Chains A and B, each alone.
Chain A
Amino acid sequence: MNDFTLISATLPNGSVANIVVSNGFIAHIGAEVRGEQIDAQGLVALPGFVDLHTHLREPGFEQSETILTGTRAAALGGYTAVHAMANTHPVADTAGVVEQVKTLGDEAGYVQVQPIGAVTVGLEGKQLAELGAMAQSKAQVRVFSDDGKCVSDPVLMRRALAYVKSFGGVIAQHAQEPRLTENSQMHEGAVSSELGLAGWPAVAEESIIARDVLLAEAVGSRIHICHLSTAGSVEIVRWAKQRGINVTAEVTPHHLLLTDELARGYDPVFKVNPPLRTAADVMALREALVDGTIDIVATDHAPHPTESKDCEWAAAAFGMLGLETAASIAQDVLIESGASNWQRFADVMSTVPASISGIEGQGQPLEVGSAANIALIDPSAKRTIQDGGASKSDNQPYRGMTLPGAVIHTIFRGVFTVRDSKLSR
């Protein structure tokens, strides 16, 4: 492994320094130069991004994405670790499946793939999956989620919250009251009324979050809320945090930028779960990401093949791509807005998601001794999104939009996975 030096990179605190990488670790930050010199002037160096919510689709749905294609997209997006959601086929509800996912991730080699285990057998919400076995497997699972489905049974949720304390785990809840969202197609509101599409009311998310923060408090456990999408959810999480409840929350890039108005053309590329909400919700989510009520940005990258989106709205699948555009949208919310800074950016994209998950070697600050997981972005770049990028799927909601910033280099364990915005192999 060759030593190299990133020359004149801007650090999250705004200072400019050379970063020397040696044997997969950061060996020096300052004026020193060692090995190959890579000009990083004008680029912001950040700890490699960590996605807590990625659908890599393998095993079972390889027509949408594979661990190889999904992690290539992740590397292009500046990620050095992703957490693979459990709704594969077979479901990642046993030690065997999570170990397979980890192994395929290691073989691909673009990012660290950390499997998420299902909370219940087959995501069916009836019986706890073998959480302990998954925790003790080679995959070392710590985050458990039935994402795509809500753990709606309060007894099961209570037991899961308590049980994972045994090995330092966390339940990541997909908050969606199932009865309130039967056959739901989009956010329930003025637009859904006009379009005649069955509504997904905000209260279906908020009532579950309210219940679950209280359950977490009662059980003395921690809980993570997936893809917060409403202003009301922000209020509940804010209240819970003030009360001292151990809750963390994520927001997706699309909920920070897009609104339900986009459904007016009935283009299913904008069909996603939870649905795109109103402009007022988007504003509340952006403020909450700035003020810390929301802890992290997580992509919910959800690839789908053409046939699942090239149809009438009701027949289409839920989900959109996100790995290659997330950093741009975080930059829009935190930096372009003038509301925050690159340190906060590093927190929401890397440090905090890594700490929620407990994943090792990720999310470390850029300092001597840290693993060399680094993303370098050019904040002055403007990109007009053309296609689905490296993903195997093409369900790109930002097509035609111009977004700020571009990932120039991604360094994973001291090796360039992306160099000059291109995959390095």
Chain B
Amino acid sequence: MKNLLSASELSRDDIVRILDTANEMSGVNDREIKKLPTLRGKTVVNLFFEDSTRTRISFEVAAKRLSADVINFAAKGSSVSKGESLKDTAQTLEAMGADAVVIRHYASGAAHTLAHSGWINGAIVNAGDGTHEHPTQALLDAYTLRESVHGHAALGKGLDGLRVAIVGDIAHSRVARSNLTMLQALGAEVHLIAPATLLPGALASRASSFSYSLDESIACHHFDAIMMLRVQSERMSASFFPSEREYSKIWGLNAERLSRLGENTRVMHPGPMNRGLEIDATSADSKNSLVLRQVANGVSVRMAVLYELMAGGAQ
């Protein structure tokens, strides 16, 4: 594998292999000296055109634990804000000898363009492109779910037969797109739940079911996991829904709805959470919540991705 651009280009075997590698990496993260020499002498550039402290730090920690040199290139306050194009930036990084570029960009397809433009030779990792995809988030969600379901016997396994609900702003969510594809590739059922304004037909038709009502879905299905998506307030100003209060009332996860979910239904959220909007504190902090596991597993999964893309070619 040269690049990681989208979930759709990964086969089930690819995904399972990366998750198994992440499993090994997680062992490193539990050691006193959390470092492997694997990528010594290699340079990873975190090229972030959009604020995302969490994802950027996760990639930075992952690269450093593999002994790579890490350069953080944030678009704000850099030459990009002076009108430098993606192409110029990429060629500059190429000239500096970047072995991998982790790119977060507000434009859908930016990672794809970077990888196929011929501007740069290093490996490209998509760390979120516009409203398109966020494949490492889907990998860490799959990892977290697999770990929770199979525990120590997780190696080599997929998510066969699991029933997962994704709830919220499907239309604008790169997390939802990547998860829909990846969870299905691993054998899980995916059910989409959202207001009709935020649920495009083409995505709904790929799901096992879709619904405009969270309550009806909870009544009809036993979910093994429910993923709540972050709702951005600019969606409200664009009339996708009338108010935060109404959204929360109809599509938010709260203590009462949590009680109607199964005892083992896992609660997930890609973060950062809007507590009180799409998820309340009781649900976020409940024993069912995997939110902190998601964050912790992000580092292991990203180590596995960097290893897959960068160490493979060297051997």
Interface residues of A, Cβ cutoff 8 Å to B: 185, 189-191, 193-198, 265-266, 307, 310-315
Chain B 99-111, CB-CB to A under 8 Å as 1, else 0, gives 0000001111110
Q: List 20 A-B contacts (CB under 8 A).
A: A185-B108, A189-B202, A191-B202, A193-B200, A193-B202, A193-B203, A194-B203, A196-B132, A196-B174, A197-B108, A197-B130, A265-B112, A266-B116, A307-B85, A310-B87, A311-B86, A311-B87, A312-B86, A312-B113, A315-B85
A190 to B129 alpha-carbon distance, docked (Å): 18
Question: What is the bound-complex CA distance between A197 and B200, given in angstroms?
Answer: 12
Candidates B85, B110, B116, B202; contact of A194 at CB < 8 Å: B202
Measured between C-beta atoms, what is the minimum distance from B130 to chain A in Å? 5
Report chain A residues within 8 Å CB of B201: 190, 193
Beta-carbon nearest neighbor of B203 in chain A:
A193
Given contacts A193-B203, A194-B177, A196-B174, A312 and B133 within 8 Å (CB-CB): no
Is B78 in contact with chain A by the CB < 8 A criterion? no
Interface range for B: 20 to 34
User: Is the Cβ of B108 less than 8 Å from the Cβ of A314?
Assistant: yes
Partner of A313, one of B109, B133, B177, B203: B109
Instruction: Name the residue of chain A whose CB is nearest to the CB of B131.
Output: A196
The smallest C-beta distance from A136 to any residue of chain B, in angstroms, reads: 43
Closest to B116 in A: A265
Chain B 106-150, CB-CB to A under 8 Å as 1, else 0, gives: 111110110011000000000001111100000000000000000
Select from chain A the residue with minimum beta-carbon distance to B8. A194
Q: A residues within 8 A CB of B202?
A: 189-191, 193-194
Chain B proximity of A86: nearest CB distance (Å): 28
> In the assembled complex, which residues on chain B have CB atoms less than 8 Å from the CB atom of A185?
108
For residue A196, which residues in chain B have a CB less than 8 angstroms away from its CB? Answer: 108-109, 129-133, 174, 177
How long is the Cα–Cα vector from A185 to B174 in the complex, in angstroms? Answer: 17
Residue of B nearest to A196 (CB): B132
User: What does the 1/0 interface line of B36-51 toward A look like (CB < 8 Å)?
Assistant: 0000000000000000
Known: A193-B203, A310-B117. A315 touches B107 (CB 8 A): yes
B200 and A313 contacting across the interface, CB-CB below 8 Å: no
Which residues in A have their C-beta under 8 angstroms from that of B131?
Answer: 196-198
- Collect the chain A residues with CB atoms within 8 Å of residue B112's CB: 265-266
Q: Assess the B109–A266 pair: CB atoms within 8 A.
A: yes
Q: Can you add 17 more A-B contacts, CB < 8 Å, to A196-B129, A197-B131, A313-B109?
A: A190-B202, A193-B203, A194-B202, A195-B108, A196-B109, A196-B131, A196-B132, A197-B108, A197-B109, A198-B131, A265-B116, A266-B113, A266-B116, A312-B107, A314-B108, A314-B109, A315-B107
Which residues of A sit under 8 angstroms from B200, Cβ to Cβ? 193
Nearest first, the 6 A-B pairs at minimum CB distance are A196-B132, A266-B109, A190-B202, A196-B131, A193-B202, A314-B107
Which residues of chain B have C-beta atoms less than 8 A from A195's C-beta? 108-109, 132
* Chain A residue nearest to B200 in the complex (CB): A193
Task: State how many angstroms separate the Cβ of B199 from the closest Cβ of chain A.
Answer: 10
A350 CB to nearest chain B CB (Å): 39
Contacts of A312 in B (CB 8 A): 86, 105, 107, 109-110, 113
Interface centre among B86, B107, B109, B129 (most CB of A within 10 A): B109
Task: Give the docked Cα–Cα distance between A189 and B201 (Å).
Answer: 8
